[in-house]
Structure 1
Amino acid sequence: MQSKKTALLFIFITILVDVIGIGIILPIIPDLIMELTGEGTAMAVIYGMWLTTAFAGMQFLFSPILGEISDQYGRRPILLIALLGLSIDYLIHAWAPTIIWLFLGRFLAGITGASFTVASAYIADISTKEEKAKNFGLIGAAFGLGFIIGPGIGGFFGEVDIRLPFYIAAGLTFSNFLFGYFFVPESLTPENRRPINVLKMIPGVSLASLRNYKGVLLLIVAFFLANLAGQSLPAVWSYYGIERYDWSPREIGISLMVVGLLVAVVQGFLVGIVVKKIGKKRTVVIGFTLWTIGMFLFSQASEPWMLYAFLVPYALGGVAGPTIQGIISNQVSEKEQGNLQGAITGLLSVTAILGQLLFSPVFYYFIRPEADIYFPGAPYALAALLLFLAFLFAFMAMKKMDLQDDESVHSKDVLPH
């Protein structure tokens, strides 16, 4: 039991430092890009879009590769190599003399950040079917906490020196590498290992191999659409705050910290409680309803206090995400968890790419001087529509599944005592 708790702590911190790396970038990337290029804000937006695309593209390509390798050789060595690589990557960011070096750093960050796949598979390895929704909630909690720490480091230490946050992130990541090396065991037992299938390393192929599992592809589509909608926040949040509220980098950082705090509380503590009380199906339905309402309200927030208030239903809706991920994992063989998580992480990387290419242009279109309708909240209105579509796919998928715990709000099988 103690080793299991240690392992979960390690995975939590691993995902946390990945997200910190993303969170650090958001408040300081405009100033860093302008420092390296000598360009103004308008071009900084374009560079920022392509930097995010480079990061997400590498995650998309390498997520199925790392997931497939980990199904044969185990999760621990892949995670440790990725953490060591990420430590080096943060130093590349800190030392970058030109924008080209920043792009190289983002490429390496995408490759090492693909360890999210293996971390998710590790959770699946050590969790019972009843524990998965709760334990996958740790991923959401790590994301939330990462978006507290990351923007905090970026926004506050970045004012001391624009590159100082990267040194801090490098130290945190290397510390976690040492923790994992000395204290964390392997999670994948020999009987659950299988030979590498090279075809499954090709992005998208791993999804096709899952078509025989009842309802899984529909749920993955729902998961994909929900996460695509969620990309509206990192894509335009900073620029939305500047355009609508005239926010400074510090105010942007504070707002992202609030987002992270709410997400961490909901996904770290409420998911297991809610699933235990009302079951998986009802959790997904209520979660998507709150998600959609909160996202649409973002588009209507004319004052900063309104945006903060509307974060509450949006964050509460986050109970749906890890619940869906737990349902998906339970439908797939233990020998296919690395492949499954690689497919899911690859899709999430695609959402990061598409989110930039979708929401940024929509935001620009509705704030440009010649726009017929001035509507800076347009990306969030579009995201709310995507969340509604995601709910429809999830509902159709769950109708095909026998989720017995949903028949009773007093089920004793959802969480261990």
Structure 2
Amino acid sequence: MAESPEKPLPPITTPDTLITEPELVAPDLTGNAALPSAPPAGRRAAATFIFFTVTLDMLALGMIAPVLPRLIEGFLHGDTSSAAKMLGLFGTVFAAMQFFFSPILGSLSDRFGRRPVVLLSNFGLGFDYLLMAWAPALSWLFVGRVISGLTASSIPTAMAYMADVTPRERRAAAFGMLNAAFGIGFVLGPAMGGLLGNINPRLPFWVAGGLSLINGLYGLFVLPESLSLANRSPFSWARANPVGSLKLLNRGGMLAISGVLLLGYFAQQVLMNVYVIYDDYRYHWTNRTVGLSLATVGVFTVIYGALLIKPVIAKVGERGAMTIGLIGGAIGYSMIGSSKTGLLLWFGIPVLNLMSFTWPSAQSLLSRKTSPSEQGQLQGAINSLRGIAGLIGPGFFTYIFSKSIGANAIISSPGTPFYVAAAMLLIGLILAQYATRKTQPAVPS
């Protein structure tokens, strides 16, 4: 399918001034050094704010991860079995909220603009963490987790903001920087949460809430609106519900690329739900070693997202970057699954993290095929794909792991879940080649 002629995005109107698209693109986010002139500090701060919003959201989620089980167990008077079941319920509810509310917030941002949705989410997430910090009973903690799943659904709006202010050919680099923000939160969040949790299990919630509220206050002063009135679309429940939003992905070439993302998100669940117990079962690693290995995953996510995505895409294009990412991810998962001593696992981490090239490339290709008035709905639909993976993936991979160990194992190989994840990525590779086989837009160097 031939790419439609490039059209300049309309100017973005704010109460005080008229900001054209090139001025609002932050060079430090896209890596672009060829803009006519450096944007004013306020314009740079606006785009940089989005980067820090995503970073702080991921940091806050990471901070509470190591202490939430302890807090739940405390409410249940040390009943570990009941605590494990409740923790699973908390995770399922969080994923369900992401699935249902991501398209709603994305569609609201297409109607009312990105700024109010992003700021309301910051304040909502901040107050929610304070509620969880104060929670006097497990029921209050559960309500807080439900609200955090809703308010954390602002990530699609942040992605849509970057799509608004970034030229089409540079969106992969901008999405790559936001992917690096995920990595920063993944590295620093659990470490900070563990340190603060040793002082008091509720302290990480207080700190996470404070960071979110401070970020929201900062955004009140530096964040202009990115979506012009001309590009806004009416809100419709037919599009805002998960099924309706996913219909947006059923367009020429988009369905296959969406399949790549869905398979990749599914494969990620093996890291989130099996990796720790796999390391304990196979290598008898301590918590420190497991944490260090996960931090290494985050470090490579940051390095690839911040430094390598732009030059790689400039060299091989988005199609090539997706190919490298999917092949690297499949090899990396296979290395982890076949590592008998743990040494091959360490070497597999930087290979596995080549997947960092896949996410922004796929999102950029989908964004190119979507009108400016539907960018919020698109990012909401993409986050719903994450929600689907979060709902089904944990049970799927833990079941496979349970059937690959012990005396009653169907396949006596503890690495089986990682082989399955690798196979998913290879299927995704086939879909990626199919979706991009006709034409690949040129990316200027």
Give the TM-score normalised by structure 1: 0.92
CA distance in 2, matches of 1:94, 1:368: 40
Deviations 1:320-348 (A, max 9, x none): 21111111101111111111111111111
* Contact kept? 1:66, 1:118, Cα under 8 Å: yes
CA distance in 2, matches of 1:230, 1:61: 20
CA distance in 2, matches of 1:317, 1:355: 18
> 1 or 2, which has the higher helix percentage?
1
For residue 231 of structure 1, give the secondary structure of its aligned residue in structure 2: helix
Moved more, 213-222 or 153-162: 153-162
1:192 corresponds to: 231
CA distance in 1, matches of 2:249, 2:339: 41
What pairs up with 1:201-350 in 2 under 5 angstroms?
A: 201-211=240-250, 213-350=251-388
CA distance in 2, matches of 1:295, 1:119: 30
- Alignment CA distance shift 1:197-1:297 (3 Å): same
CA distance in 2, matches of 1:44, 1:387: 33
Moved more, 105-114 or 230-239: 230-239
2:31 corresponds to: none
CA distance in 1, matches of 2:296, 2:430: 29
Residue identity in the other structure for 1:203: P
Specify every segment of 5 or more residues in structure 1 that has no aligned partner in the other structure, as ranges: 406-412
Deviations 1:283-321 (A, max 9, x none): 111111101100121112233443222101011232121
**Deviation at 1:255?**
2.6
CA distance in 1, matches of 2:128, 2:386: 21
**Deviation at 1:276?**
0.7
Residue identity in the other structure for 1:414: P
The number of equivalent residue pairs is: 406
CA distance in 1, matches of 2:403, 2:72: 23
Q: Does 1:27 find its partner at 2:70?
A: no
1:414 corresponds to: 444
**Deviation at 1:14?**
1.4
What pairs up with 1:4-403 in 2 under 5 angstroms?
A: 4-211=43-250, 213-368=251-406, 370-371=408-409, 373-400=411-438, 402-403=439-440
2:34 corresponds to: none
- Alignment CA distance shift 1:254-1:12 (3 Å): same
**Deviation at 1:210?**
4.2
For residue 199 of structure 2, give the secondary structure of its aligned residue in structure 1: coil
- Alignment CA distance shift 1:377-1:166 (3 Å): farther
Residue identity in the other structure for 2:308: L
Moved more, 162-171 or 94-103: 94-103
CA distance in 2, matches of 1:41, 1:381: 30
- CA radius of gyration, larger in: 2
For residue 162 of structure 1, give the secondary structure of its aligned residue in structure 2: coil
**Deviation at 1:43?**
4.2
Deviations 1:26-72 (A, max 9, x none): 33343333222235544443322221111010011111111111111
* Contact kept? 1:155, 1:250, Cα under 8 Å: no
1:410 corresponds to: none
**Deviation at 1:23?**
1.8
CA distance in 1, matches of 2:76, 2:293: 27
CA distance in 2, matches of 1:28, 1:377: 28
CA distance in 1, matches of 2:218, 2:347: 38
**Deviation at 1:89?**
1.6
CA distance in 1, matches of 2:82, 2:406: 15
Residue identity in the other structure for 2:62: G
For residue 214 of structure 2, give the secondary structure of its aligned residue in structure 1: helix
For residue 61 of structure 1, give the secondary structure of its aligned residue in structure 2: helix
* Contact kept? 1:30, 1:41, Cα under 8 Å: no
**Deviation at 1:250?**
3.9
- Alignment CA distance shift 1:374-1:38 (3 Å): farther
* Contact kept? 2:404, 2:414, Cα under 8 Å: yes
Residue identity in the other structure for 2:155: F
CA distance in 1, matches of 2:417, 2:323: 23
Residue identity in the other structure for 1:134: A
* Contact kept? 1:151, 1:256, Cα under 8 Å: no
Residue identity in the other structure for 2:187: I
**Deviation at 1:130?**
1.1
**Deviation at 1:233?**
1.1
Give the TM-score normalised by structure 2: 0.86
1:404 corresponds to: 441
